[in-house]
Structure 1
Amino acid sequence: METNKLILDGNIVASSIKADLVPRIAKLIGRGITPCLATILVGNDPASATYVRMKVNACKKLGIESRRIVLAEDTTTEQLIQTIQQLNEDITVHGILLQHPVPEQIDERAAFEAIQLHKDVDGVTTLGFAQNAFSLAAFPSCTPAAIIAILDFYNIQIEGKHAVIIGRSPILGKPVSLMLLNRNATVTICHSKTQNLEEIVKLGNIVVAAVGKPKFIKGSWIKAGAIVMDAGYNEGNIGDVDYEACLIKASAITPVPAGVGPVTIATLLKHTVDSAENSFFSIL
């Protein structure tokens, strides 16, 4: 590995975020409030179960209460929404996370929309998306927020840069595009219908890969000196970026694993603590 390459270590960023949370959590507990994240898993998808377990363990290490709810594979939309409503009404729950994906019979969007805005710590509601587009107070989607957190931690300039986003999902590609735009980047969003993708990616000072395809972004696509943010995670601990090839061109790059992933989880914990603090001050 060349010594002039900056490896954007997500574990370091995540540790910094968690360290900042420790005194805040202690202060809340001293006031009689334990931050609580409720995670909902519908069905038996092994990868989803693993992701939920990681989040539960991360909560426990910081003293955040984790309420794990597992629903059957044949759960209906109505049953899922009823569970969400119960959590909405529970004042001891500060954040609600519905693990994606849900079984096909469920209207996932309807379920997401049932989560109250102040408990939407994963940033999945359309109202939360809209508020973030206008730089208002709702919680942003965690992975986009993690990408911004990494750039800020390493003092990488966003303003005035051309950011190319590959992917337009409602919880990753679209929100990170708006967050970068709000930080005065010039943003190009690419997707499955984009023509001349390789040439467009070559224009990016900051490249965000969010397509869910292993090693999709080739080294030859990367502009010399670009910042490469790999938000993908595929089977075998492989990102959306051909890491070794892109490392040759990039000035900074996130690895997979230990890049965006750990910061995403740390961001979820931060949002839960933020929500708990908001709930405390709202009752004063």
Structure 2
Amino acid sequence: MSTHRKSEVRRISAPDIFQRKGGDPLVALTAYTAPMARLLDDACDLLLVGDSTGMVAHGFSSTVPVTLDMMILHGQAVMRGSRKAMVVIDLPFGSYEANPEAAYGAAVRVMKETGAQGVKVESGPTIPDTIRYLVDRGIPVMGHVGLCPQAVNIDGGFKAKGRTAAERQSVLAQAHAATEAGAFAIVVEGVAESLARGITKAIGAPTFGIGASAGCDGQILVTEDMLGMFEWTPKFVRRYANLASEITRAVGAYAEDVRARRFPAAAETYFNGTGQPPLLEAAPDQRLS
């Protein structure tokens, strides 16, 4: 895909997302690499470079160990691989909670070093002030209420929200506060269906459900979950493929061919004694000259 073609496409922006409230459902998925972003871009309105990369790509047991440098590196890759979808990058645990100024410093690094169109923060008592501080300084912010993965140590695990009246009221209040502070959209994760529908109806910003409700303004999933890359997936995930088994099959076939010396064959060998170039055509991004 040429650089010229990329320049012809206008990226979806925060105002574009905000104006979709109550309209056609918004489509979002996570992305951490350029190849995956390229595959997802045409189908998605928004690509989230989630700190879920800590669990999906780095093997951590939670998102807590993820660093700002890691998020920037993944964000740069996703920006290189996409051209249309809005790209939002999670601010990782510890990079924004101390005060709005710290959040601004982290967000500025993300925006400058990746070129992304916004950042996402998880809810907490001090977060509305932080959202307002960032938005007032030109940084689009996506909120996140309900199950907040960065709070795993406080919650004692990844626990759905909305089981009690007090909990429901708290999550709803957080969604209101984030929207009133200027968030252009809100991720609603792991809450009772009625609560998700109530939040979506009550606030002016569009909601992206994940383990929430079809009544949200849009949906988001971890891409590797919906592609069946892991043995276990959460209850709220629908598997649209089973790539783990397909990869296992392909790798097994490759291993058998190598051990039997069936690979590489003549067609995959450079200058194999015939004096002719290899039969395979070079891919546009080939790394071997």
Instruction: Give the TM-score of the pair, scaled to structure 2.
Output: 0.30
Instruction: Give the TM-score of the pair, scaled to structure 1.
Output: 0.31
More relative contact order, 1 or 2 (CA 8 Å, 6+ apart): 1
The structure with more radius of gyration: 2
